[in-house]
Structure 1
Amino acid sequence: MWEYLQHLSFWDWLAFGTLLLILEVFGAGGYLLWVGVAAAATGVLTFLIPAMDWTWQFLAFGILSLLTVVFWWRYQHRPGANAAASGLNRRGSELIGRQFALHDAIVGGRGKVRVGDSLWLVSGPDLPAGAQVKVTGQDGVLLLVEPA
């Protein structure tokens, strides 16, 4: 083993990086991606500097691993990174503030509006079919409306 470590080539690092990236495909959740990229970068560095000692190779791999992971963590946690996901699993949230004509009259606090090719249940004051309503909120699959 000691003899193997002293004669690491760039192929060893590229193979290690490829193995980590393959393992990432099977569901590591992003943990192995950046370490695999660091291993591949160490392979490229070893190719460019073939006389690099194995201790320097491992040091370069460790530093590159830390740099890539920290870079990715900072990229993921930058201000506004989760703004696009704020409406995730809240399909009707993009309708808030828009106006629609009632498809079915609101009777007893419930009615329907047509949005594109689908009908949405609405809750609001009783109004006749065809009346213009404005979406003010959402409660699950129910849109909250008021007269426009």
Structure 2
Amino acid sequence: MWELLQHLSFWDWLALGTLLLIFEIFGAGGYLLWVGIAAATVGVLTFMIPGLHWTLQFVLFGVLSILTAWLWWKRQRSAARPSDQPGLNERGHDLLGRTFVVHVAIVAGRGKIKVGDSVWMATGPDTEVGAQVRVIGQDGSTLQVERIE
């Protein structure tokens, strides 16, 4: 075992880095990415500095693994701030207060309305096709409407 450790080459580190990155592809969730990059970096350093002692190689691997994982964690935490556009993916909120035409009659509280070039599910009082309705709310992808008299 000591013989193997004393003769670590850059190929060993590059192989370890490649193996860790392959395992990452199979769904490790990002945990092995940074350890694999650290192993590959130690491989490059070992190539550039051929006489690097094996203990220093392992210390570098550990430090680089922790450093890269910490930097990524720090970046992810700084990126997780509230959006300046809170309604960005809630298209129905843009429709509140607007009027549309009933496309499929609202019967027993359910029907469809025509919104631009699309059709949305709607809930509200029974209303015949062609009548005007106003959007008063949203529940998921279903719009809540009221009849306009």
> In which range does the TM-score fall when normalised by the shorter chain?
0.7 to 0.9
Tell me the distance in 1 between the aligned counterparts of 2:24 and 2:16. Answer: 12
Tell me the distance in 1 between the aligned counterparts of 2:10 and 2:145. Answer: 64
Taking the TM superposition and a 5 Å limit, the aligned residue runs for 1:1-148 are 1-80=1-80, 93-98=90-95, 99=98, 100-115=100-115, 118-125=118-125, 127=127, 129-134=130-135, 136-138=137-139, 140-146=140-146
Deviation string for 1:53-81 (max 9, x for gaps)? 11111111001100111122222222446
Deviation string for 1:18-71 (max 9, x for gaps)? 011111222222221111111001111111222211111111100110011112
2:133/2:145 contact within 8 Å kept: no
Cα 1:78/1:125, change in 2 over 3 Å:
farther
User: Which AA in structure 1 matches 2:110?
Assistant: R
Report the CA distance between 1:3 and its aligned residue. Answer: 1.0
User: Which AA in structure 2 matches 1:63?
Assistant: V
Tell me the distance in 1 between the aligned counterparts of 2:102 and 2:31. Answer: 50
Deviation string for 1:95-133 (max 9, x for gaps)? 222244331344554331134665322123455524253
Tell me the distance in 2 between the aligned counterparts of 1:37 and 1:22. Answer: 12
Cα 1:2/1:117, change in 2 over 3 Å:
farther
Identity %: 55
Q: Which structure: larger Rg?
A: 2
- RMSD across aligned positions (CA): 2.9
Aligned-partner SS, 1:78: helix
So what's the TM-score if we normalise by structure 1? 0.76
Tell me the distance in 1 between the aligned counterparts of 2:143 and 2:79. Answer: 30
Cα 1:43/1:110, change in 2 over 3 Å:
same
User: Which AA in structure 2 matches 1:57?
Assistant: Q
User: Which AA in structure 2 matches 1:36?
Assistant: G
Tell me the distance in 1 between the aligned counterparts of 2:9 and 2:16. Answer: 11
2:135/2:143 contact within 8 Å kept: no
User: Which blocks of at least 5 consecutive residues in structure 1 are unaligned?
Assistant: none
User: Which blocks of at least 5 consecutive residues in structure 2 are unaligned?
Assistant: none
Tell me the distance in 1 between the aligned counterparts of 2:6 and 2:146. Answer: 75
